[in-house]
Amino acid sequence: MSISKQRIKKLSALKDSEIDYSDVSELGATFWKSAKLIQPITKKAVSIRLDNDILEWFKEQGKGYQSLINSVLQTYVHAKKSKHTR
């Protein structure tokens, strides 16, 4: 989902008291007892050589193609790791 710069500007101008939270349920003590902090995985810029047809296919998938490549590689790594732990 994308949001226009104009809409972001309009939302940013809202005062906290003007925000409607009526459809958001409160987070009770139970939630906070079991909540866990998840640190984001940092990414590192690298140079990698890929076959042209592979790179073009990913680019054709649209915006976020580099994240898609990362996800495919991540899936491969997880599959290999789980195969070795059996």
Residue 26 lies in a domain: no
Residue 58: domain span: 50-86
Residue 83 lies in a domain: yes
Residue burial 13-46, b: 16+ Cβ < 10 Å; e: rest: eeeeeeeeeeeeeeeeeeeeeeeeeeeeeeeeee
How many domains are contained in the chain? 1
Residue 4 lies in a domain: no
Residue 13 lies in a domain: no
Q: Sorting pLDDT into bands at 50, 70 and 90, what band is 38?
A: confident
- pLDDT for 1 equals 66
Q: Sorting pLDDT into bands at 50, 70 and 90, what band is 85?
A: low
